[in-house]
Amino acid sequence: SSSFPNTCSSNQNIVNPSRCSSQEQRNLNLGLQSESQSEVELAPSKFENVDSHEPSTKNVIPPQNSPLPIHNSQANGNDNITKIADSNLTMAIPPQNPAISRANATFYVLCRNTDLYSLLETIQNYEDRFNRQFHYDWVFLNDVEFTQEFIKLVTNAVSGDAKFGLIPQEHWSIPSTVDVDLMHQYMDLMINDPDGSVPYADSVSYRHMCRFESGFFYRHELLLDYKYYWRVEPGVKLYCDISNDVFKEMEEGDYKYGFSLSTIEYPKTIPSLFKYFKHYLFETKQDHLLLNDTNYSEFIYDESKDDYNMCHFWTNFELGNLDFLRSVEYNVIFEYLDSTNGFYYERWGDAPVRSLILSVLLRKGQIKRFSEIGYKHAPYTQCPISESVRLQNRCSCDPGEDFTNKWYSCSWYFDNVSLPKIHRL
């Protein structure tokens, strides 16, 4: 049923797991331009060389020697805290001052100029519900320049610094190894699918977006100084106050990834994704990672069908450790998947791609499910069931709309596989 070719094409545009395993891997193109990044350690260009499966903190990007992440106003020495310290009244500073103990973190939004007003609504909501207490920065990326109007209104809406970046063109374009005519043939097949339309079947920009979010955003220069990110999209909504610093929670728990909603993917968008993923694991002698009790492979792997079960973290809400995303281990898998051109010949979403990689690389306990955060990205809602949680956090959502236990949610399943086997249903 797959429209993806099953044989290795003569022009080597397509990697076939059984017949094209020796195809050379493209080198990591980190696209880092600034001089300070010149010592970037490249991932092995041959994935055959990768035999370590232990998650590691070894980074593609050298650790930044950044000082404590302090807010700009402090760095300027013009705010109250500095003045108090100057006059030997240091003890007057509340020990829990969030501006001092914040994590090195930022919100991250990929968006278009036309998203401005739905974005402003979302920013106001995130600021009111969370960020007005902490003043974390916001990084906005776009494949074209943001307009002055956009920059003015958005900067005015956030309580931390607002940073606006342009995506390098090579991170947002069809790779030269893609046969564009062939891509359009596959797109037409997807558009005219007899079982009904596949979402975004006809969109090339959506494919750029999914590839960028899978393997490039964390390499953008505006994100290099940060260790944690929280992805936000125009139009999403928080339903409850978040009084604790979730970035600090990520840091203190040493979580590599956090999510709220999880669901199942449209199989038609990823007919070959798992085949290639599995091929990568076999080629690198890491196939044992698919049946491994110490990682999250059970979250994605249906052993009875020897196939992907379609579960994925919904990436429109995600918190993550950027150093982990910048690790060799993550990027070597991304690069392999990208080299198959499945982002374009099929329509691989960043959510299933990210989820597959995380599920084999991360150890149990390294992924946090934020179950008490009320959140909506249409059409799904997470709403805390507990009335006391909703009262305490002034939630405005209807618990009857909570998505967690629906059959097409994977969150209940995540909870189940996160437990040691003996405690499971």
User: Which tokens hold the place of 410?
Assistant: 């994977």
Site size toward ligand GDP (CB under 6 A) is 12
Distances (CA, A) of 363 to 84, 289, 297, 402: 44, 11, 10, 28
**269 is a site residue for ligand GDP (CB under 6 A):** no
Four-point Cα dihedral 203, 204, 208, 213, nearest 10? 20
Q: Which does 111 bind (CB under 5 to 8 A by kind): Mn ion, ligand GDP, none?
A: ligand GDP
Question: Which of 30, 28, 24, 348 shows the shortest CA–CA distance to 183?
Answer: 348
Q: Which of residues 315-334 bind ligand GDP (CB under 6 A)?
A: 316
Catalytic, 48? Answer: no
Q: Which is nearer to ligand GDP, 202 or 233 (CB)?
A: 233
How many other CB atoms sit within 10 Å of the CB of residue 319? Answer: 24
| Binding region for ligand GDP (CB under 6 A) out of 36-44, 111-119, 125-133, 410-418 | 111-119
**265 is a site residue for ligand GDP (CB under 6 A):** no
Q: In what order do the strands lie in the sheet with 228-232?
A: 162-166, 137-142, 105-110, 228-232, 318-321, 257-259, 367-369
Q: What does the angle CA 72 – CA 77 – CA 83 come to, to the nearest 5 degrees?
A: 130
| Binding region for ligand GDP (CB under 6 A) out of 177-185, 203-211, 242-250, 286-294 | 203-211
Q: Which does 205 bind (CB under 5 to 8 A by kind): ligand GDP, Mn ion, none?
A: ligand GDP
In angstroms, rounded to a whole number, what is the distance separating the alpha carbons of residues 144 and 138? 18
69, 215, 234, 384: residue in contact with ligand GDP (rule CB under 6 A): 234
| Binding region for ligand GDP (CB under 6 A) out of 105-113, 242-250, 299-307, 416-424 | 105-113
The 130-149 contact track toward ligand GDP, x by CB under 6 A, reads ------------xx------
Q: Which is nearer to Mn ion, 220 or 376 (CB)?
A: 376
Task: List the catalytic residue out of 213, 251, 265, 318.
Answer: 318
Type of residue found at 393: N
Q: Is omega for the bond preceding 420 within 30 degrees of 0, making it cis?
A: no
**237 is a site residue for ligand GDP (CB under 6 A):** no
In angstroms, rounded to a whole number, what is the distance separating the alpha carbons of residues 10 and 374? 51
Contacts with ligand GDP by CB under 6 A lie at 110-112, 115, 142-143, 205-206, 209, 233-234, 316
Name the residues annotated as catalytic.
Answer: 318
